[in-house]
């Protein structure tokens, strides 16, 4: 068995140059194919049309909530609060790690069961690991009924006057 040793084949400078160029070309093509595969892979895995809950829904007439009362919409993860001056909506998803907070009837505190954060009825943090307040969601009045837009956050003093 004789080894054909490519390291030992005599070669001119031009041939070496060509070899280097082809080597570079090959590695480049390989790298490009790798990057292309990755980009296409991520693109493929990214869902274009996830069938999910609506981000806009009708709550009902504002008069249905008594002043100072809280309407808990469990399905949509929203609290609709009627203060003295008007109505506002808070997301009930804890800003810490996304657990759904709870509000006991007649209590003035919203508590997260996962890591113990507590918020007041304005959404401000009272205690616990959460640092951000519960976001206030946009409300509009359409044909006398309150509509919540869950993807649209508004300033923390915005009220829907009724």
Partner 1 sequence: MRKIATALTRSRVWRSVFRHGFPDSNRNRSLAIFSSFFLHFHPVKVRVRAIAFTRTFYLGGLALACFFILTVTGTFLMFYYHPIVPSAYNDMKDLQFVVSYGMFLRNLHRWTSRTMIALVFVHMAWTFMRGAYRHPREFNWTIGVGLLVITVLLSYTGTLLPWDQLSYWAVAVGTNIVGAIPIIGAKVKLLLLGGHEINDNALLRFYVLHCVVLPLTLAFGVGLHLWRVRKDGGIHLPELPPRRDDVGDENYASTRADAGSPESSDAPHENA
Partner 2 sequence: MSEPTPESAPERGEEESLGSVGAARVVVEEHVSDCRTSDFVDEPMLMTFPHLLVRECVAFLGLSIFLVVMSLCFDAPLESIADPTRTPNPAKAPWYFLGMQELLQYYPPIVAGVLFPALLIIALAIIPYFRVNIERPPLWKSAPWTQVASLWGVVAGLSGVFYFTGSVPIWSLMVPLWAVGLAMTAGALPWRRSRLGIWLQTRSLAFWIFAWFLLAATTLTVIGLWFRGPGWRFTLPWYDGFY
State the sign of the Cα–Cα–Cα–Cα dihedral 119, 124, 125, 130: positive
Counting every residue written for the chain, the total comes to 162
48 part of the interface to partner 1, by CB under 8 A: no
Query: Residue 46: which of partner 1, partner 2, none does it interact with, CB under 5 to 8 A by kind?
Result: partner 1
131 part of the interface to partner 2, by CB under 8 A: yes
Which residue in 10, 12, 74, 105 binds partner 2 (CB under 8 A)?
74
128 part of the interface to partner 2, by CB under 8 A: yes
Query: Residue 83: which of partner 1, partner 2, none does it interact with, CB under 5 to 8 A by kind?
Result: none
Residues 9 and 6: their CA atoms lie apart, in Å, by 5
Q: C-alpha angle with apex 34: 32 to 38, nearest 5 degrees? A: 115
Q: Is-contact 53 99, C-beta < 8 A? A: no
11 part of the interface to partner 1, by CB under 8 A: no
Interface contacts to partner 2, rule CB under 8 A:
74-75, 77, 96-97, 99-102, 111-116, 128-129, 131
């Amino acid at each position: 068995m004789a080894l054909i040793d490519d390291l030992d084949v005599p070669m001119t400078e031009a041939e070496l140059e060509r070899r280097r160029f082809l080597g570079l070309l090959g590695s480049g093509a390989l790298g490009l194919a790798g990057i292309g595969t990755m980009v296409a892979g991520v693109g493929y895995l990214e869902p274009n049309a996830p069938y999910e809950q609506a981000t806009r829904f009708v709550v009902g007439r504002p008069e249905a909530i008594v002043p100072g009362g809280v309407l808990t919409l469990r399905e949509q993860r929203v609290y609709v609060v009627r203060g003295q001056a008007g109505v506002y909506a808070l997301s009930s998803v804890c800003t810490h790690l996304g657990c759904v907070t709870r509000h006991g009837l007649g209590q003035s505190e919203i508590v997260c069961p996962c890591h113990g954060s507590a918020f007041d009825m304005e959404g401000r943090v009272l205690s616990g690991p959460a640092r951000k307040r519960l976001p206030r969601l946009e409300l509009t009045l359409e044909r006398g009924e309150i509509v919540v837009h869950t993807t649209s956050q508004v300033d923390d003093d915005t009220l829907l006057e009724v």
